[in-house]
Chains A and B, each alone.
Chain A
Amino acid sequence: MKISFHINNQPQTITIEDQNTPLLWVVRDLLDLKGTKFGCGKAACGACTLHVEGQAVRSCSFPVHLVEGKKVTTIEGLGTPEDPHPVQQAWIEEIVPQCGYCQPGFMMATAALLEEIPNPTDDDIDNNIINVCRCATYYRMRKAIHRAASIKNDSTTNSVNS
């Protein structure tokens, strides 16, 4: 069957036999976007987190047919090296990654969180950022999430003032 959607602002149509194929497999193996990672395959670790219509979802547990007509964003589409997303900027500034494997999932989850809660408290972070990092970079991540919030809020204030 054919499934059409937008990914990172580009229209995309794929042909796939099994409409229940996980979106993660389509993104990585068909569209060759390797930023989104496979960790557990059972919606437990968050390495595969991306956005569908701005909402964080675990793409290993998301059948591809559900993206028909929708907007998908992966870590590759969150920002660019020239114009990083506040979360990516904060991650660089706080030098968060260790091995890096889990990080795209954390960044996508954080980007979704900041859309809902612009100034998350530590409790908000504990509740909403429940991905798993084997390297235990949680401490740096928490700092980066707070920093990302302030970068994002500053840029919003600046763009409102200018």
Chain B
Amino acid sequence: MKRKDLPLLILIFLVIGFVFSTSYSKSIDSSYSLVEINKNVISNKENFTKIMSVLTHERCLNCHPNDNIPKQGDDGHPHYFGMMRGKDDHGFEATKCSTCHQAENNKYSGVPGAPHWGLAPASMGWQGLTHKEIARSLIDKSKNGNRSHEDLVRHLTEDKLVLWAWEPGVDAEGNTRKVPPVSKEEFGTAVKQWFEDGAIIPEE
């Protein structure tokens, strides 16, 4: 090799080095983001599943009927005495939810209670819906009482009637009512995370 060819050779090596280094770093980048996306997809799905396991539990679903009839018990049977939604989701004109249900559980009668005890609006009738359908209805402002994501997070994690699901008291026989399958804290974390991640409804 002639001495005068040296700069040219160095230049060629530099160019090759540059091309290799950029393509290598690109492949690291894309594989890194794939892992990230996968992780996000998995955690989104987990959060969604946790949320749905609560929303479809009897403690919640019994007051989200799709036929204007409140439900009771772990078997979700129709509320005794022919009680129905009424005009304002709180029963009939004189015999209302609050005729029997007060703002707290009653351990003497076994009647459950929490503030503003009543049915969720008819537009939020979830009984018989799939998880996806429930989620779509949950985040649909035309159905959810015009609630933003922030409003929904607050509602799901702070509303006393929602939180009653984890403190449902005893029934008329003195037996403690069943609570949802995930804890209140776990549910709260899942709700916050799911909405933070954009409230994406996962594919089955």
Contacts and interface: CB of A to CB of B under 8 A. Distances in A.
User: Do A and B originate from a single complex?
Assistant: yes
Interface of A: 20-22, 41-44, 49, 55-58, 60-63, 66, 109, 112-113, 115-117, 124, 126-130
Interface of B: 80-84, 92-96, 98-100, 102-104, 106-111, 172
A123 to B, nearest CB: 10
Given A42-B109, A43-B111, A61 B95 contact: no
Contact of A41 (B81, B92, B94, B108): B108
Nearest to A48: B109
12 contacts: A20-B108, A43-B106, A55-B96, A55-B99, A58-B111, A61-B100, A66-B103, A116-B93, A117-B93, A127-B82, A129-B95, A130-B81
B46 to A, nearest CB: 40
Q: Which 3 pairs across A and B sit closest by C-beta, in order of nearness?
A: A61-B109, A43-B100, A116-B93
B99 A58 contact: yes
Contacts of B107: 20
A56 B109 contact: no
A63 to B, nearest CB: 6
Q: Residue among B82, B92, B98 with the most chain A CB within 10 A?
A: B92
B94 A109 contact: yes
A60 B110 CA distance: 10
B106 A112 contact: no
B149 to A, nearest CB: 36
A63 B104 CA distance: 9
A128 B100 CA distance: 13
Given A127-B82, A127-B84, A61 B108 contact: yes
A47 B106 CA distance: 18
B80 A44 contact: yes
A56 B97 CA distance: 11
A42 B92 contact: no
B109 A43 contact: yes
A55 B96 CA distance: 9
Contacts of B80: 44
Contacts of A66: 102-103
Contacts of B103: 66
